[in-house]
Chain A
C-alpha cells in the first residue's frame, strides 16, 4: 500500500545519499519499525443508488477477508445505514422541526439540538461500541464517517508486530 511505498522509497533515497548498502539501510528502517504499525486503510465508499441519502456500500472489501467475518462487517455497515436513514427520514417529526424553526426565524437552532445531531451522537456511540467489541480485538479500527465528511467509512488495519517484513 502507499505506506509501503514510502518506506521503500525512503530507503532507496537514503541509500543513494549515504552510499550505504541497501541491506544496511533496510535493516535500519526495519529496526525502527518494530512497533505495531498502521499497514493500510480500507475505504468503504458511499452508495448513491437511492439518491443523495447517506448510505454506504455493503460490499465486503477483500483486504478484510482474513480479519473479520463478512457477516459481521455487513451487519455493522447495514446498521450504520439504518441509523443514517433514521437521521434523514422525512416524516412528521422532521417537518414539525422544520416548520417550528422557520417560524422562529431559525433562531431555535441556536438553543436546540437538531434531530440529525442526536442521531449522529447515537452513531458515534455505536461505532465506539463496535470498535471495542469486535474490531479492535482483530486489529482494526473504524473511523466515524462524520470525521471524513460522510464520504467514506475508513477502516484502519493495524499490522501485527510479528509481521515486520519489509514494512
Chain B
C-alpha cells in the first residue's frame, strides 16, 4: 500500500516536466501559452483575445445599439435632406458628431472592465480566515462577517464576500449577474450589458448625457421638419404621409427623451454628491444624517471637486490583467486561473478550493523545488473554510480524503486531482475547467502521482464515481 503512496519516489524536478496530468501538461506546454482571461472565474465573456470584456448576459445591448442606429439612420436618410435644404447643413454634422460620440461611449461602457476585483488567492483567504477565527468564535458558518473601519471619522462596515473570499473594500459590491466584486459599484445596466463601476462610470455618464442630447436633437429636428412641411400649404396628415419615417423617429424619441433625461439628471445629482446608485438606493448615508452632506464620507463637500474626481480623475488600471499569460506550469488545467490573481473559487465548491490550493502548491513546488505532493494538501485549507463548505458539500472533508486515497489505491492509476471533493467535483464550476483535462486517462506513469495534486479537481473522479 505504501508503494502506492509513493510520494518519496516522485522527483520534484520530474514532476515539473511530467506532473500528474502528464499528458495533458505536455500537451498544454506544446500548445500556445494561455491567457488569464481564459480561466477567469467570473461570469464574463471575452472577445478579441481578452481585449473586450462583456457580462455573460449581454442584456439588451443589441437592442440599445439597434435603436440608436436605426433612429439615426432614419434621421439622416429622411429628415436631413429636407432640413439641409431648408435650414442649414450643420444639422447632419451635429447629428453625426453626436451619433459617433454616443456609439463610442456606449461601446466603451460595455466593453470596459468596470473595476472587477480579482478573487483572493488561497493564501490570502486562509490568512483572513485565520484572523476571523482568532478574533471571534465560529463553530459553524457564522452570520455574514463584517468588519468595521473608520473612514474620515465615520464608521463604515465592510462585508465579507463569500464568493471572492475577502472583505470587500468600501463602495465595492458583488454583482450576482456577473459574479464579480466590482469597485465603486453603481449598478448593473442591462442596456449596456455590463456593470457600471469605478472604471467605466465616466463612459456611462458621457453615454447618457450625449444620448440625451442626441435624442433631444433628433426630436427637435423631426418636429421642425414636420412643421415646415405642413406649413408649406399642406396639412399635417399630408406632411406625415410624405415622410413616414419621421413618425417612427418621433415615437422612439418621445419615449426615450423622458427616461434618458431623467436618468441623466439623476446621475448628475449622484456625480455632484459623489454617490453611487447603489448607495443612494440603499440610503447608506442619507438616512443617518438627514440633509447633511457630510453623511457621505467620500464626498469632498464641493460640487465641482466631486464632479472632477468622479469624471476627470485618473483612470485606474484594470486589476484583472486579462491578457496576461498564465505561466506555463500554471496553464495546467484550468479551474484555477493565474497563480496571481484569479483563483477560480466557486463559493460553494470545495473542489475548487482544493484545486487552487493544489495548484498553488504545485507552483511553489516547481519554483522552489519543495515537494508537497502527497495527499490532498487542499484539505486542511478547507478546514477553516469547511465551515461554510460543509453546509453545501456532503462528505465531510475529513472522511473524503481517505476515501479518495483508498479509492485511488483500489482503482490503481488514475489521474488524481484532489481526492477529497469527489462529490462537489461533479458539480457546477465545471465550466471553468479546461475540458481537455476531463480525460482522466489512467496510465502506469501516473500511478505514482495518483496522490499528487493536479489542477482539475474534477477529472479524477469522473471515472471513479
Contacts and interface: CB of A to CB of B under 8 A. Distances in A.
Contacts of A109: 315
18 contacts: A2-B123, A2-B126, A9-B401, A10-B7, A18-B2, A18-B4, A32-B371, A33-B371, A36-B368, A51-B152, A52-B170, A90-B305, A98-B308, A98-B312, A99-B312, A101-B315, A115-B314, A149-B319
Contact of B1 (A18, A95, A105, A152): A18
Interface in A55-111: 87-90, 94-95, 97-99, 101-102, 105-107, 109
Contacts of A101: 315
Interface string A23-48: 00000110111011110010100101
A17 B311 contact: no
A134 interface: no
Given A10-B376, A13-B401, A106-B104, 17 more contacts: A11-B374, A18-B1, A32-B8, A32-B12, A33-B370, A35-B12, A35-B370, A38-B364, A41-B123, A50-B152, A94-B312, A98-B311, A98-B315, A116-B314, A117-B317, A148-B341, A154-B124
Contact of B104 (A20, A29, A105, A146): A105
A146 B118 CA distance: 10
A87 B121 CA distance: 25
Count chain B CB atoms within 10 A of each CB in A11, A36, A102 and give the residue with the most: A102
A5 B196 CA distance: 41
Interface in B116-169: 117-118, 120-121, 123-124, 126-127, 149-152, 156, 158, 166, 169
B202 interface: yes
B409 interface: yes
Given A32-B371, A146-B319, A102 B312 contact: yes
Contacts of A46: 169
Interface string B307-327: 011011111110111000000
Interface string B393-406: 00000000110011
A142 interface: no
B461 to A, nearest CB: 17
Contacts of A147: 321, 340-341
A82 B89 CA distance: 53
A151 B314 contact: no
B2 A19 contact: yes
A155 B153 CA distance: 30
A18 B309 CA distance: 63
A128 interface: no
A150 interface: yes
B121 A148 contact: yes
B5 interface: yes
B268 to A, nearest CB: 15
A13 B368 CA distance: 24
A36 B126 CA distance: 22
Nearest to B358: A6
A5 B368 CA distance: 18
B387 to A, nearest CB: 15
Contacts, number: 194
A136 interface: no
Interface in B406-452: 406, 409, 451
A126 B2 CA distance: 49
Interface string B378-401: 111101000000000000000001
Nearest to A39: B370
B377 A9 contact: yes
A18 to B, nearest CB: 4
B312 A49 contact: no
Contacts of A152: 124
Given A9-B375, A94-B313, A94-B314, A149 B368 contact: no
Contact of B203 (A17, A31, A52, A106): A106
Contacts of B43: none
A136 to B, nearest CB: 14
Contacts of B378: 6
A152 B169 CA distance: 11
Contacts of A41: 123, 127
Contacts of B370: 33, 35, 37-38
B297 interface: yes
A105 B101 contact: yes
Nearest to A6: B377
B180 to A, nearest CB: 11
B110 interface: no
Closest 7 CB pairs of A and B: A98-B312, A5-B380, A6-B377, A10-B374, A18-B2, A35-B369, A149-B118
Count chain B CB atoms within 10 A of each CB in A90, A117, A151 and give the residue with the most: A151
A101 B127 CA distance: 40
A90 B314 CA distance: 7
Given A52-B171, A52-B184, A10 B375 contact: yes
A31 B7 CA distance: 11
Contact of A49 (B150, B314, B402, B409): B150
A2 B402 contact: no
A9 B380 contact: yes
B328 interface: no
